[in-house]
Amino acid sequence: MESVQAPQRITLTPGARRVLAAAGTLFYERGIHAVGVDLIAAEAGVTKKTLYDRFGSKEQIVVEYLADRDERWRAFLADHLDTVGDSPEQRLTAIFDASREWTAENSAKGCSMVNAHAEISDPSHPAYAIIIGQKRWMLDLFTGVCRDAAVPDPETLARTVLLLHEGALVAHGLQVFPDAVRLASEQATALLAAAAARNRQG
Amino acid sequence: MESVQAPQRITLTPGARRVLAAAGTLFYERGIHAVGVDLIAAEAGVTKKTLYDRFGSKEQIVVEYLADRDERWRAFLADHLDTVGDSPEQRLTAIFDASREWTAENSAKGCSMVNAHAEISDPSHPAYAIIIGQKRWMLDLFTGVCRDAAVPDPETLARTVLLLHEGALVAHGLQVFPDAVRLASEQATALLAAAAARNRQG
DNA sequence: CCGAAAGTACACCGATCTGTATACTTTTGT
DNA sequence: ACAAAAGTATACAGATCGGTGTACTTTCGG
């Protein structure tokens, strides 16, 4: 079943692909409102005409930017999950390992969804659904892992793991201390192990 | 001792105070780059001349906005800490209680520092020091609490508590699930208690 | 081989952006 | 009482914003 508010996507011609790549870097590094369409077009080596023929509006570029990043993150994560076994411990570790790689390569300034949310005030903006959707999806993912583990309250554990994960992205982006995602990983797996042990004894 | 990079502050005349109040609301709710000086002046009931006579530039308004919010948060937190005893458990709970109140009243869209960071690319921007400074200060605060508690590794525990705290602000701002700060509070205090118990036994 | 799709080059539009200038009035501390 | 500080009203400047229009060229699958 599709999401209730699936955003409208466009077909990506070669030029559109370069626009999306340029917009992705610029939006993430400088912020959405700080980047103009002229700069995006110039950076992509494309005329503004082409840009508007493909995307129609700057808002649509923003939507494609977030949807594309969301898509790539989920694929990246799926690849990592495919390499490990079915045990909850292994899967949880794999998720955080993926996050660690991803942040090192693509998210030095923190989570693009959180950052985009800071610049969008209107909840009816089509990008809103993507942002909230990814966080809910991550929570559901953690919840599935925790349910598979034999723990007393998988929903609460999953929420706690999400807090650690989101906190780590922030701490990494603001460079509060080194290797925040690794710490989050260790603490999350420790919580899972402790909850499982507690359940076996109680 | 003062911070190495203390930002330049201005004297707040009545007009400047209204500008700062208006800018605070607008910047937080709509984002910094999305708000123009004309709107700030109009909302403050002040002419643009007055605005520029007091602040000199929009960038300086941004600096004052963040410095003021940082100042008010620290004062708010100090008030809460004054009402409780010296025990680490009480102080940690007081910090999260303050956060819960603060987010409910002033931070429905997440942490203003994190949100501002999303819009500022230049690390030499005077606002940068304020943003990073607050997070480091929060980490130091948590570290102090954990050191006072008899736990094996207070620095790591403090970092973990910071992750829970920052994660909660994000989860609250994006409304991933209800009462995220309360969950973070419960989990943080549980971690502190567990670490203290482990230390007494080992 | 040909037509449609995709692209280039470039001029242009109205709105909005940060910031300034001029001339005058109100508030306030001593 | 008086001068300095703080304020109003308003017009303006130059740059940039998102977005459009026209005329021409390139690419490529059936």
Q: Give pLDDT tens digits along chain A (202 positions).
A: 544 567 778 889 999 999 999 999 999 999 999 999 999 999 999 999 999 999 999 999 999 999 999 999 999 999 999 999 999 999 999 999 999 999 999 999 999 999 999 999 999 999 999 999 999 999 999 999 999 998 999 999 999 999 999 999 999 999 999 999 999 999 999 999 999 998 887 6
Residue pair A168/B160 in contact (Cβ under 8 Å)? The answer is no
The nucleotide lying nearest A56 (C-alpha to C1') is D19
Non-local (6+) Cβ contacts of B188 within 8 A are B92, B96, B161, B164, B165
Residue pair B115/B30 in contact (Cβ under 8 Å)? The answer is no
- pLDDT score at B9: 85
In which residue are the tokens 């943003």 written?
B131
The Cα A53–Cα A75 span in angstroms is 29
A13 touches strand D (CB under 7 A): no
What's the CA dihedral at B134, B136, B142, B143 to 10 degrees? -160
B35 touches strand C (CB under 7 A): yes
The nucleotide lying nearest B33 (C-alpha to C1') is C17
Residue pair B180/A163 in contact (Cβ under 8 Å)? The answer is yes
Which helix (H) or strand (E) segment holds residue B171: the answer is helix B154-173
Cβ–Cβ gap B118/A118 under 8 Å: yes
The Cα A131–Cα B57 span in angstroms is 33
Nearest to B184 by CA among B111, B85, B84, B83: B111
Per-residue pLDDT at B75 exceeds 50: yes
Residue pair B144/B88 in contact (Cβ under 8 Å)? The answer is no
B182 touches strand C (CB under 7 A): no
The Cα B156–Cα B162 span in angstroms is 10
- C-alpha distances out from residue B169 to A14, A29, A132, B51, B61, Å: 40, 22, 14, 32, 24
B49 touches strand C (CB under 7 A): yes
Per-residue pLDDT at B1 exceeds 60: no
Helices A112-119 and A126-148 meet at what angle, rounded to 10?
Answer: 140
Q: Does A193 touch chain B (CB under 8 A)?
A: no
Q: What is the DSSP letter of B121?
A: -
Cβ–Cβ gap B135/A171 under 8 Å: yes
Query: Model confidence at B37, in pLDDT bands (50, 70, 90)?
Result: very high
- pLDDT score at A58: 98
Cβ–Cβ gap B29/A139 under 8 Å: no
The Cα A79–Cα A132 span in angstroms is 23
In angstroms, the CA of A61 and the C1' of D23 are apart by: 27
- pLDDT score at B2: 47
Per-residue pLDDT at B4 exceeds 60: no
- SS3 (DSSP) at B17: helix
3-state class percentages of chain B: helix first, strand second, coil last, to nearest 5 = 75, 0, 25
Report residue B124: phi and psi, to 5°: -90, 0
Q: Which residue in chain A is spatially nearest to B121 when comparing CA positions? A: A30
Q: What pTM was computed for the model?
A: 0.96
Query: Model confidence at B149, in pLDDT bands (50, 70, 90)?
Result: very high
Cβ–Cβ gap B159/A175 under 8 Å: no
Q: How far off is chain B from A11, nearest CA to CA, in Å?
A: 29
Q: Does A101 touch chain B (CB under 8 A)?
A: no
Residue bearing the bigger pLDDT, A1 or B77: B77
- C-alpha distances out from residue A170 to A9, B118, B131, B191, Å: 29, 10, 12, 21
